[in-house]
Amino acid sequence: MTRNMILHLAYDGSAYHGWQTQKNDRTVQQTLEESLSEVCGHTVKAVGCGRTDAGVHARHYCANFRTESRIPADRLPFAVNARLPKDISVYEAFEGSQDFNAIGSCVRKEYIYRILNTQIRDPFLESRVCFYPQRLNMEKMAEAAAFFEGTHDFRAVRSVGTETRTTVRTVHWCRVSREEDLITIAICANGFLYNMCRAMVGTMVYASYGKLEPRDIPALLEKGDRRLTGPTMPPQGLYMNHIWYPSFEIGDKG
């Protein structure tokens, strides 16, 4: 009987052109599928919980694939990791219901965006944070973040890309915190548009130094004009961080 296997994995996206398989660029999906195919003894096609762009990372990510291989689920991570490069790791594997789909069954996701807000670069974080030397105003950023929460049309903070049936999304929370020089923005929503997180963060940065006022954000969302909101921030600061499904979740506990 064909099993529907669920994987909990993580990856550093620096060397990849995003998650989704492409013709001429190395991707996380392609790399994972090649390793799974070796282990399972047949061609494997994996479904990921979302499209991450080139240079974007995942602290926690979910994928599923179908196989007739009888390899025990608890042995699968060891077998696959032995064939994967060191910047991708499968943490756990378990069998799911036949109707489970990593993206279609997902009810909400959280991304985090990390900004190193100091005048001195950290060479060890170069590909894993957005280096931003101009001092950012945390109060203004937090005020701006709060205006993104709720159900809105988010076309004003998306780039032209994959077409969707609707640009309305519900943001469950948008929170800003700082620990020494590292700022973390956590955004949880029922779905994300192309570059939505990075444009939201760019809009918060604009609000930080007065290029727009936090209270202007509802009107900017209503207008839906991408030119009026903040820039799309660099990809290396972005991480998929938590994924929720009806019967389980993948991410940090507690």
Nearest to 240 by CA among 6, 4, 18: 18
Q: Are strands 3-11 and 57-67 parallel, antiparallel or unpaired?
A: antiparallel
Active-site residue, from 12, 53, 87, 252: 53
Nearest to 122 by CA among 63, 181, 77: 181
Pair 176, 183: CB distance under 8 Å: yes
As a whole number of angstroms, the distance between CA 238 and CA 9 comes to 16
Pair 151, 221: CB distance under 8 Å: no
Is residue 53 annotated as part of the catalytic site, yes or no? yes
Q: H/E element holding 80?
A: helix 76-81
Pair 81, 11: CB distance under 8 Å: no
Enter the tokens of residue 39.
């282990």
Indicate which residues carry an active-site annotation: 53
